[in-house]
Structure 1
Amino acid sequence: MDSNGFHNKDEQELWRSFVSGNDQSLETLYRRYFDELYNYGNKWLNNPSLTQDSIQDLFVKLMRNRSNLTIPDSVKYYLLRSFRSIVLDKLKVNDRMKLMDEPKEHMFQVELCPEEQMIGQEEDKRLQKQLTEAIQQLTPRQREAVFLKYQEGLSYPEIAEMLALSQKATYKLVARAIQTLRTITDSATLIIAFFLYT
């Protein structure tokens, strides 16, 4: 079994323990995934307080529905997918998203984190500008797909399910995003590094 397999088994044991009535197990999952959920949610909401409230809502919902929960293949994926639904609902309730043909397309933003912005001054300012311009060429859905693939490590089938796309469409979405970034930056490594550190 690879390290991902062991990790999934550990997460599933925590989940099983929570479903069986152990609140400490859910608290452990909360601590493990808070930063990832926050990073993902705030790219939609751009509001730290609302993002934290959304994480709280997710875990309250899990507590209330404990008796109906099954053991997911990937706890991380389950949490991200459930959290995404809560975040999109908050956007609708707060009138921050106009319900048009594809509401999921409108808000997802990726920006350089403060640590990345401070690296190296002059040369890196040029690099940061190039990366920011490259990212702005992507659609919000492309940004989200690449983020989920390279930052969160989700599989193509998981991303496809989360974005309500076919696997083939998801492959194309990520491939087009990478091609767009590669055309602008001439460096696939640079692109991936950007998503790993934002």
Structure 2
Amino acid sequence: MARSRSAGGGAFAPPAEPSDLDARLADPDADPESAARTICLRLLTARARTRAELHQALAARGVPEQASTKVLDRLADVGLVDDHAFAGDYVSSRQRDRGLAVREISRQLRDKGVDETVITAAVSGIGPEAEAAAARQLVARKLRSMTRLAPEVKTRRLVGMLARKGYSPSMAFQVVRDAVGASGEDTGPDETAWLA
């Protein structure tokens, strides 16, 4: 393949040409199912996706609804599109790696088009104690970098961090109060002042 030298120096970049896929989609005689399959497989190569995400991508590329449905059904039949598996993996990684609360994970899955019953099943394995443990871990990690701050500032920032991760105000305040209080510091106003 011919490459052209960029104006910026020694880097090489391929010339800007429309992809084969773009040409096939623009061709009125093209097979829309073939194009839909190619789009989906390219997207799935990068990362797992929900059926709704793939459907949206196909619609954005102008794939007819009938071809889109047929291809997505086939991909589901062979296990390449599985919202149950996607949701399970998503819940596990977001809770373990990012410490997100069930409420925030559920919101993100809804945004990805996952059905509510699938979401409920996926998050059912995270109990209140697991959520509290994740919140305590997040606070302990963040608290190490806050040694010079006043207790009220620590409390406000930590409660805000947990709130952004989807924790309820009462759980966030309790976890932060316990962590900051364990270091012998006063957390400032009580919970009712924070929640007002």
TM interval, shorter chain, is under 0.3
Provide TM-score, normalisation by structure 2: 0.27
Provide TM-score, normalisation by structure 1: 0.26
Structure 1 or 2: more helix by fraction: 1
Structure with bigger RCO (C-alpha 8 Å, 6+ apart) = 1
